[in-house]
Amino acid sequence: MVYFAKAPVPGQVKTRLCPPLTTDEAAALYGAFLRRIVRPVSGARTLVYGWPGEQLSVLAAALPAATAGDPGTPELRPQQGADLWERMQRCFAELFAAGHAPVLIRNTDSPDLEIDLLHEALRRCTPGTVVLGPDFGGGYYLVALAQPCPELFADLEVGGDPGSAPGSTILQQTRDRARRLGLEVVELAERRDVDRFEDLIAMWRQRATGAS
């Protein structure tokens, strides 16, 4: 179980919320997301892969204080790679090489994501499958694999997937490529991540109404 996280530095996180938020407010909000999201997951080794690597101490200070000194505290490691997709590839490769499977990478932009969805993803992730958690913006809040498949993410953001229609979302490109690689695509319930101010307002309204 891996959380992909960033150091909550003003001007480097949640910049699409600015304006109306200031960069300091956006960084503080993301820090609150981290404290809500990052928790050990029962039955799984739990790690945090942080970016950028030289600011891991800033990220460590923002993680939930309640887990400090706890044997279940997630281990913190640096992300490595030129872009998100390469960093995901390297994370999967490192953990598979160490004998861990399945491996699940979850974002830190979806503070209301139910823990049950993480357990479902781990349960449904079997050899020959990729588990995706779609978000409302055409991406995904988690991805899980039970075996190495480095080709799945190669250059997705750089040039898109040549087998997908022009303008396809990252989610659709990943679906298309997975199927061409012979993987069964398992999709979880669609959930919101908070990238834009409209997402933040929608999250607050959902909490106020109790809607799913």
> What pTM did the predictor assign?
0.92
The mean pLDDT value for 104-129 works out to 97
Question: Which amino acid does the sequence have at 142?
Answer: L
Q: How far apart are CA 1 and CA 42, in angstroms?
A: 10
Domains and CATH numbers, the chain: 2-209 (3.90.550.10)
Q: What average pLDDT does range 193-201 have in this prediction?
A: 96
Average pLDDT over residues 80-89: 94
Q: Tell which residue, 114, 83, 197, 101, has the closest CA to residue 148.
A: 101
CA 184 to CA 176: how far, in whole Å? 11
Which tops the pLDDT comparison, 164 or 79? 79
Task: Say if residue 14 is exposed, middle or buried (CB neighbours under 10 Å; 0-12, 13-18, 19+).
Answer: buried
Q: Is the dihedral of CA 150, 151, 153, 159 positive or negative?
A: positive
173 alpha-carbon distance from chain centroid: 17
Q: Is the pLDDT of residue 107 over 80?
A: yes
The pLDDT value given to residue 160: 62
- Per residue in 132-185, pLDDT tens? 999 999 999 999 999 999 999 987 865 566 667 767 899 999 999 999 999 999
